[in-house]
Amino acid sequence: MQKHDQDYIRRKNKAAVFQMIRSSAPISRADIARTTKMSPTTISRIVQELKDQGFVKEMELQTASTPGRRAILLELDQTSVLTVGIELDRSKFKIGIVDFEGRMVFVGNVDRELVGTPDETLAQIGRELQAIIEQQKIDAKKIIGIGIGIPGLVDTKSGEVILSAQLGWSRINVVEKLKKITGYDVAIDNELKVKALAEHSYGAAKGSSRTALIGFGSGVGSALVINGEIYRGDTNSAGEIGHTIVDPNGVLCACGKIGCLQTYIAESSLISEANKVRPISSLDELFEERRQGQLWAATIIDRAIAFIGITIANVISMYNPSTVIVSGNLVEKYEEIRSIIERDELQQYVWEPLRDSYQLVLSNLGSNGVVIGASLLAQDTFLSIEI
């Protein structure tokens, strides 16, 4: 076999061993050999390289079954690599420093200077990140890159935000700008896509082979993760369920079409419906009206619940996922809706043959999901375990 064939297989094998330790730690060399079907000699060589690079460390375990004998297990050295995860929203952003195993070392919320241009917002992010690194005494040398999650359409390759209604941005190259400001490598994606990745890796869908995440918040969106990989589609727009048509005789959407799902269930739509009856400025107020027995508020919320059911059903029909994660303010914050999801009471909307095909769960990383997912994206993009 020629030299470059050997290098290729070496790299593949090393990546496989690394992924196995990452997903199944603590794990023994013998178990890795058994699962990957590689030879013990190969495993030992690769593990030694990963130890030399600082990514993997050994832990010794007293085995219960054979007293006196110690098993040596491998795990990631979670302090060896750090990434920065950023969630950018209309009125605030969130910065997290995340370790090798998806644990938050630090997380902070910052109000966005709303009057600012994209350049000013990104400069503000740069200043806040620098302050966090200094104040929290983070070892900056360990940071291998930044990941950022954005509401809207994102071109992950060029690094550009194509269109974000929430931020009011279009055609802004965030990756280029933020790299220039911070000096770190930057990766970007849609917020729901990285959230799905985080829930799949560390949250509610750990171990699921096909995870669909639906977000009900300022907009409606979905994301699909297949075997640990985000399904992007051709222009990274897969899962944009907010503009699927669910009522051809319905309401005109700001996008110019009639009957978009968005128009029935986005936060702003619910509030604008409520304002036809009474001046209401937040979902909190709308839910409070309902608790006070206001039937008009119940009517609006009941219709939203029906559309939550329809959204879940349509995602199940299209993606046939093993796990459906429901997330976002509308479902996480209000007990009335959360409990319906927890009891999976919306099955009437799901096509009968699929009713037993999925597991429905609430997101469990909650409001940290985007930050953790964005940092994971940075890890996947910038971590190099090459020979």
Site of interaction with a copy of itself (CB under 8 A): 1-2, 4-6, 8-9, 13, 37-39, 41-42, 153, 162-163, 209-210, 222, 226, 231-241, 243-249, 255-257, 260, 306-307, 310, 313-314, 317-322, 348-349, 351-354, 357-358
In residues, how long is the chain?
387
CB of 1 to a copy of itself, least distance (A): 7
CB of 59 to a copy of itself, least distance (A): 27
Q: Which is nearer to a copy of itself, 84 or 225 (CB)?
A: 225
Task: Write the single-letter amino acid at 301.
Answer: I
CA separation, residue 196 to residues 92, 159, 201 (Å): 21, 20, 9
Residue 94 dihedral angles phi and psi, to the nearest 5°? -130, 135
DSSP classification of residue 294 = -
Q: Which is nearer to a copy of itself, 201 or 236 (CB)?
A: 236
CB of 252 to a copy of itself, least distance (A): 12
Q: Which is nearer to a copy of itself, 314 or 381 (CB)?
A: 314
Tokens describing residue 34: 């058994």
Q: Which is nearer to a copy of itself, 182 or 314 (CB)?
A: 314
Task: Write the single-letter amino acid at 186.
Answer: V
Q: Tell me the DSSP string of 368-387.
A: GHHHHHHHHHHHHHH-----
**Number of helices and strands in the chain (H, E):** 13, 16
Interatomic CA distance for residues 336 and 217, integer angstroms = 16
List the strands of the sheet with 220-226, edge to edge: 229-230, 220-226, 210-216, 323-327, 359-362
CB of 220 to a copy of itself, least distance (A): 11
CB of 173 to a copy of itself, least distance (A): 17
Q: Which is nearer to a copy of itself, 39 or 339 (CB)?
A: 39
CB of 357 to a copy of itself, least distance (A): 5
| H-state helical runs in 115-204 | 118-135, 174-182, 191-202
Interatomic CA distance for residues 153 and 189, integer angstroms = 8
Q: Which is nearer to a copy of itself, 4 or 137 (CB)?
A: 4
CB of 163 to a copy of itself, least distance (A): 6
- Reference 344, options 330, 331, 333, 353; nearest CA is 331
Q: Which is nearer to a copy of itself, 169 or 358 (CB)?
A: 358
